[in-house]
């Protein structure tokens, strides 16, 4: 990459992409039987040439390497350089280098970085075409801003209630039912989950939503708006309930509980339930536990709606080969083969529906369970204002667990966050 595409080049690329999408047949709105785009069915010119640089972390490196091998075999005139970087460095280095005309053409990223990337003009739109209807709609929403897609997602992650079947086969639908189940088991711990002294709003969120509380307002298309809604009556109802669940109440949530402590208690058979995500799968399988994953029980009467985190690929706004990058993303990363290759090297449900429904995914109780637990999930907000929420949100929750006045603490939190948003 050396310089920004000229307007003429960008328009030509967009036109080519539109023709590519149209040549594949009718869209999902016109024909619900449209096949999922695949590498073999791609209508991109067979003589595509050029080079791409892609950044990924070590976990996904073998999968991306395999996808690139297929891409280069189909397009002998294409050369792709794959660079392995620490996961935590990819976003920072991308943000620093792209404005200078340097950096990669494509990176792997979580969707909650999209808002800041778009605001800074760092990434280019991606024309999904027929692929949009073949992907999980939550995944598409997560990688979109104002209705425009800015990447191709490959995996969705959300938490669920992991149950040790050797200790209980109960399937509690409410929080009270879960507490009664843990009492009946009589293990050292009941439900365990990471809280920590900093709080863990991510893990608490599905329970909070069961009271009808959300973070931000949404527009008619479901896009998050920078209008804080935590300080509404539903939020206060959650806060008051949370005040009964700390060490001085039911003990369900304990700020002294870290992820390592919670996981070890569950792996040792000292807790029947573990509120966590698919990233725990490898350790659970290694321990040989017989488990199922259940939806998070409701405490407030409404369905629990966990955050859904989505992983995907985005294209640099400075890439000289955006048509080539889009072809790689939509026809290769977005293919069944590509999505399953990525699935084999990390947690999460494939974003492509056809891949998510394959036996390789559904035959594993962990994979199937987390997918079901996330059926009512919502994308974690990616708007820049979300970065101002996490710390005060977590601190307020811990203070309430430790006995602070729920309503006053929650109001102060909401006021402080709103002030930070107003000043940003």
The answer to whether residues 389 and 366 belong to one domain is: no
Q: Burial level of 30, CB count in 10 A (0-12/13-18/19+)?
A: exposed
The answer to whether residues 276 and 413 belong to one domain is: yes
DSSP state of 102: -
The answer to whether residues 266 and 402 belong to one domain is: yes
pLDDT, tens digit, for every residue of 356-409?
Answer: 999 999 998 899 999 999 999 999 999 999 999 999 999 999 999 999 999 999
pLDDT at residue 203 tops 60: yes
pLDDT at residue 244 tops 90: yes
Q: What does the alpha-carbon distance between residue 362 and residue 228 come to, in Å, rounded to a whole number?
A: 37
**pLDDT value at position 140?**
95
Is residue 205 one of the residues assigned to a domain?
yes
The answer to whether residues 60 and 88 belong to one domain is: yes
The answer to whether residues 270 and 408 belong to one domain is: yes
Average pLDDT over residues 228-234: 97
pLDDT, tens digit, for every residue of 102-159?
Answer: 999 999 999 999 999 999 999 999 999 999 999 999 999 999 998 899 999 999 999 9
Largest CA distance in the chain: 69
The answer to whether residues 164 and 153 belong to one domain is: no
Is residue 28 one of the residues assigned to a domain?
no
The answer to whether residues 240 and 351 belong to one domain is: no
Please check whether residue 298 is in contact with residue 173, taking contact to mean a CB–CB distance below 8 angstroms: yes
Is residue 293 one of the residues assigned to a domain?
yes
**pLDDT value at position 43?**
52
CA distances (Å), 293 to each of 35, 171, 281, 314, 348, in order?
A: 31, 10, 11, 31, 13
Q: Please, which residues bridge with residue 298 across strands? A: 174
**pLDDT value at position 222?**
83
pLDDT, tens digit, for every residue of 213-223?
Answer: 999 999 988 88
Average pLDDT over residues 279-296: 96
pLDDT at residue 187 tops 80: yes
Number of domains forming the structure of the chain = 2
pLDDT, tens digit, for every residue of 389-400?
Answer: 999 999 999 999
**pLDDT value at position 46?**
62
Is residue 77 one of the residues assigned to a domain?
yes
The answer to whether residues 90 and 177 belong to one domain is: no
Average pLDDT over residues 181-199: 97
pLDDT at residue 52 tops 80: yes
The answer to whether residues 187 and 227 belong to one domain is: yes
pLDDT at residue 4 tops 70: no
**pLDDT value at position 93?**
97
**pLDDT value at position 47?**
77
Rounded percentage of the chain residues whose pLDDT exceeds 90: 85
Between these two residues, 26 and 197, which has the higher pLDDT value? 197
Between these two residues, 68 and 88, which has the higher pLDDT value? 68
The answer to whether residues 259 and 225 belong to one domain is: yes
Q: How confident is the model at residue 44 (pLDDT cuts 50, 70, 90)?
A: low
CATH number at residue 87: 3.40.190.10
pLDDT at residue 26 tops 80: no
Helix, strand and coil content of the chain, in percent to the nearest 5, comes to: 45, 15, 40
Q: What is the mean pLDDT of the chain?
A: 90
Domain span holding position 248: 160-305+383-423
Q: How confident is the model at residue 422 (pLDDT cuts 50, 70, 90)?
A: very high
Average pLDDT over residues 290-301: 97
Q: What does the alpha-carbon distance between residue 416 and residue 424 come to, in Å, rounded to a whole number?
A: 12
The answer to whether residues 245 and 389 belong to one domain is: yes
Q: What does the alpha-carbon distance between residue 383 and residue 223 come to, in Å, rounded to a whole number?
A: 9
pLDDT at residue 229 tops 60: yes
Answer with the one of 379, 395, 415 that is the final residue of a domain: 379
| Residue reference for tokens 């999980």 | 136
Does the CA dihedral 39-41-43-45 come out positive or negative? positive
E-strand spans in 117-251?
144-145, 148-149, 152-157, 160-164, 191-192, 216-218, 224-228
Q: What does the alpha-carbon distance between residue 386 and residue 215 come to, in Å, rounded to a whole number?
A: 9
Is residue 341 one of the residues assigned to a domain?
yes
Is residue 247 one of the residues assigned to a domain?
yes
Is residue 83 one of the residues assigned to a domain?
yes
Is residue 30 one of the residues assigned to a domain?
no
Average pLDDT over residues 297-326: 97
Rounded percentage of the chain residues whose pLDDT exceeds 70: 89
The answer to whether residues 186 and 296 belong to one domain is: yes
């Amino acid at each position: 990459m050396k310089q920004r595409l000229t307007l003429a080049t960008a328009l030509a690329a967009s036109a080519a992409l539109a023709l590519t999408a149209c040549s594949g047949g009718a869209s999902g709105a016109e024909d619900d039987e449209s096949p999922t785009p695949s590498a073999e069915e791609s209508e991109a010119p067979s003589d595509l040439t050029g080079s791409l640089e892609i950044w990924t972390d070590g976990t996904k490196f073998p999968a991306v390497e395999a996808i690139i091998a297929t891409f280069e075999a189909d397009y002998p005139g294409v050369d792709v350089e794959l660079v392995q970087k620490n996961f935590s460095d990819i976003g920072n280095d991308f943000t620093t280098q792209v404005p200078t005309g340097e950096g990669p053409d494509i990176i792997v990223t979580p969707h909650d970085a999209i808002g800041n990337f778009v605001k800074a003009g760092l990434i280019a739109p991606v024309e999904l075409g027929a692929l949009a209807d073949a992907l999980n709609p939550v995944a598409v929403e997560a990688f979109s801003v104002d209705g425009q897609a800015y990447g191709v997602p490959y995996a969705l992650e959300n938490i669920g209630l992991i149950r040790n079947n050797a200790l209980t086969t109960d399937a509690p639908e409410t929080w009270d039912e879960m507490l009664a189940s843990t009492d009946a088991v009589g293990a050292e711990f009941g439900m365990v989950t990471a809280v920590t002294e900093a709080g863990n709003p991510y893990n608490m969120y599905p329970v909070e939503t069961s009271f009808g509380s959300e973070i931000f307002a949404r527009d008619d298309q479901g896009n998050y708006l920078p209008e804080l809604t935590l300080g509404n009556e539903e939020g206060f109802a959650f806060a008051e309930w949370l005040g009964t669940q700390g060490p001085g109440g039911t003990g369900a949530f304990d700020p002294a509980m870290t992820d390592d402590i919670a996981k070890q208690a569950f792996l040792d058979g000292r807790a029947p339930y573990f509120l966590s995500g698919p990233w725990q799968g490898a350790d659970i399988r290694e321990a040989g536990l017989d488990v199922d994953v259940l939806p998070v029980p409701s405490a407030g009467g409404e369905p629990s709606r966990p955050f859904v985190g989505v992983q995907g690929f985005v294209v640099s706004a400075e890439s000289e080969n955006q048509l080539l990058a889009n072809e790689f993303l939509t026809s290769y990363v977005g293919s069944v083969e590509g999505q399953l290759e990525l699935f084999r090297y990390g947690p999460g449900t494939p974003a492509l529906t056809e891949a998510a429904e394959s036996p390789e995914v559904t035959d594993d109780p962990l994979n199937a369970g987390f997918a079901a637990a996330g059926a009512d999930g919502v994308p974690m907000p990616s708007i820049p204002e979300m970065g101002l929420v996490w710390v005060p949100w977590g601190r307020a929750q811990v203070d309430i667990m430790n006995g602070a006045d729920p309503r006053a603490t929650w109001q102060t939190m909401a006021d402080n966050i709103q002030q930070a948003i107003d000043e940003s």
